[in-house]
Amino acid sequence: FESAVLDGCHVVITAGPTREALDPVRYISNHSSGKMGYALARAAQEAGARVTLISGPVTLTTPDRCQRVNVSSALEMLDAALNVVSDCDIFIASAAVADYRPAAVAEQKIKKSGDEIQLTLVKNPDIVATIASHAERPFTVGFAAETTDVAAYAKGKLARKNLDMIVANDVSQPGIGFNSDDNAVTLYWPDGEQAFAAMSKQALARELILAIAQRYTAVLGD
Ligand code: PMT
């Protein structure tokens, strides 16, 4: 790897899906495998950073020398992020956080009854936006998983969530995005962008960490 561009930095990365419980045996979730976030954790560690990986439920092995904090729901992920925010230089949100959770978690398994049932969902807090508006704000990088109008939605999230950078992927494309080994993304910041063609998530993670480190250093120097 290129010399230790992140020496002395504490990088916090969220990865994987969240699970939003409906009852003791069921949950709402998504297809995130954690591969993108774990690759970023490995790349940041190799670039000299101390890495905390806040991970939803995945089946991956913890990268060497990374500290892993296991969480399940979005609310738990938010708590874990807030626990480290005041001691964090760079926060990278690659997790696929559920936007909504069931309004109530049934204490007992929900019984099969009529032909239809209705679920009421309530909005989860936005973790990356909360971190980006915190008093002790780290350099904050989000992701945008889109299926249409990728650039416009990503730039909207960059501004609305008060982020320093955002990594946009078109998750409607086969072979990239959720659960695949490869990804193709465009990185946006307020006055620039850089596109990365499809490659393995590990190779991409190295490039993204390098680009993030460059921008982080430039912003620090301002
Ligand atoms: O895990 P893999 O299988 O390797 O797949 C990688 C990936 C496709 C999950 C990853 O590349 C990716 O796009 N991650 C973000 C997924 C997502 O939920 O994107 P979003 O556009 O819905 O969210 C935008 C940003 O807000 C993200 O940084 C997300 O972490 C964050 N967010 C969203 C909702 C919420 N309640 N809190 C958040 O922090």
pLDDT of residue 3: 58
Domains: count for the chain: 1
Atom index in ligand 1 nearest the CA of residue 38 equals: 4
Nearest protein Cα to ligand 1, atom 23? 144
Which residue's C-alpha comes closest to atom 31 of ligand 1? 128
- Is any ligand 1 atom within 6 A of the Cβ of residue 73? no
118 is a domain residue: yes
Within-domain flag for 4: no
Q: Domain of 85: which CATH number?
A: 3.40.50.10300
Q: What is the largest CA-CA distance in the chain?
A: 62
Kindly state if the Cβ of 92 falls inside 6 Å of ligand 1: no
Query: Is the pLDDT reported for residue 46 higher than 90?
Result: yes
- State the pLDDT at residue 97: 98
pLDDT of residue 21: 98
DSSP the chain: --TTTTTT-EEEEEESB--EEEETTEEE-----SHHHHHHHHHHHHTT-EEEEEE-S--PPPPTTEEEEE--SHHHHHHHHHHHGGG-SEEEE--B--SEEESS--SSPPPP-SS-----EEEPP-HHHHHHTSTTPPEEEEEEEESSSHHHHHHHHHHHTT-SEEEEEETTSTTBSTT-SEEEEEEEETTEEEEEEEEEHHHHHHHHHHHHHHHHHHHHH-
d(Cα 206, Cα 44) in Å, to the nearest integer? 8
Q: What is the pLDDT of residues 58-109, one digit of tens each?
A: 999 999 999 999 999 999 999 999 999 999 999 999 999 999 999 999 999 9
Is 187 within the bounds of a domain?
A: yes
CB 94 near ligand 1, within 6 Å: yes
> Hey, what's the torsion of the CAs at 14, 148, 124, 89, to 10 degrees?
30
Mean pLDDT (the chain, rounded): 96
pLDDT at 2 over 80: no
How much is the pLDDT for 92?
A: 99
Residue nearest atom 18 of ligand 1, based on CA coordinates: 96
Categorize the per-residue pLDDT at 6 as very low, low, confident or very high, splitting at 50, 70 and 90. very high
Q: Is 30 considered catalytic here?
A: yes
- Residues of the chain with pLDDT > 70, as a percent, come to 99
pLDDT, residue 34, reads 98
pLDDT tens profile 167-190: 999 999 999 999 999 999 999 999
The reply to whether 5 falls in a domain is no
Residue 61 vs residues 34, 45, 64, 65, 110: alpha-carbon distances, Å: 10, 15, 9, 12, 33
Residue 222 has pLDDT above 90, yes or no: no
pLDDT at residue 206 tops 90: yes
- With a 6 Å cutoff on the Cβ, whether 212 touches ligand 1 is no
Give the mean model confidence (pLDDT) for residues 42-54: 98
Asked whether residue 110 carries a pLDDT value surpassing 70, the answer given is yes
Domain range enclosing 42: 10-221
For residue 178, the CA-to-ligand 1 centroid distance in Å is: 10
pLDDT score of 35 more than 80: yes
Residue whose Cα lies nearest atom 37 of ligand 1: it is 126
Q: pTM, whole model, 2 decimals?
A: 0.98
Ligand 1 in reach of 44 Cβ (< 6 A)? no
Is a pLDDT exceeding 60 seen at residue 221? yes
